[in-house]
Amino acid sequence: MNLDFTYFENGIGRISGQLPGMPQDRVVLNRLFFYVFKELDDVYNQHLSEFGLNSSTFLALAMILSSEDNRLNPSHLSDALIASRTNVTRLADDLVGSGWVSRKPCTQDRRRVELSLTPSGRKLILTVLPVIWQRIEQQWIDFSPAEITEFDRLLRKMLEGLRRFRMAS
């Protein structure tokens, strides 16, 4: 996959020359965001495939690990992963099939299901997490703590703007 942002920038520059009123810096920003996301997603999946995982399965295992008492409902997982419940059902099928997660009915609320890490799933995620963390440190190595903080602030501000905007429309 070719990720040369100049294709887009050149095009947008030509349009801006023809049509008035383009907020060019913000148009570029939105599109740049898309490019960076693609790259981030690719790099993550590349790393995780070494362990037979992908973004979804990795994060699911990590979220179950982080749960109280090693138990998590599919619905909660759906919220944490920003994935549909449909997809989490399938994800759980896969994780159970791989022997990393067990699925048991919940006794308190019989509509619910409880997902738990098996010993093998726990071992896997405890092996993978430090490796991924090390790579994330590498990824951000050129950023100062102040830049990290500022980036975080800007992303949250962008998120708020988008949410307020979505409500408005």
Indicate whether 156 belongs to the interface with a copy of itself (CB under 8 A): yes
SS3 for 117? strand
Contact 38, 1 (CB under 8 A): yes
| Of 63-71, 86-94, 96-104, 114-122: span binding a copy of itself (CB under 8 A) | 63-71
Among 66, 84, 127, 149, binds DNA (CB under 7 A): 84
Number of chain residues interacting with a copy of itself (CB under 8 A): 82
> Closest separation between CB of residue 95 and DNA, Å?
11
| Of 34-42, 89-97, 98-106, 108-116: span binding a copy of itself (CB under 8 A) | 34-42
Q: Output the CA torsion 127→60→87→43 (10° steps).
A: -60
Cβ nearer to a copy of itself, comparing 46 with 108: 46
SS3 for 103? strand
140-147 LR contacts (CB < 8 Å, sep 24+): none
Strand partners, 113: 105
Indicate whether 53 belongs to the interface with DNA (CB under 7 A): no
- What DSSP string describes 49-99? HTTT--HHHHHHHHHHHHSGGG-B-HHHHHHHHT--HHHHHHHHHHHHHTT
One symbol per residue from 78 to 107: x for binding a copy of itself (CB under 8 A), - otherwise; what is it? xxx-x-x-----------------------
Could you list the residues that contact DNA (CB under 7 A)?
1, 54-56, 73-75, 78, 82-92, 103, 106, 109-113
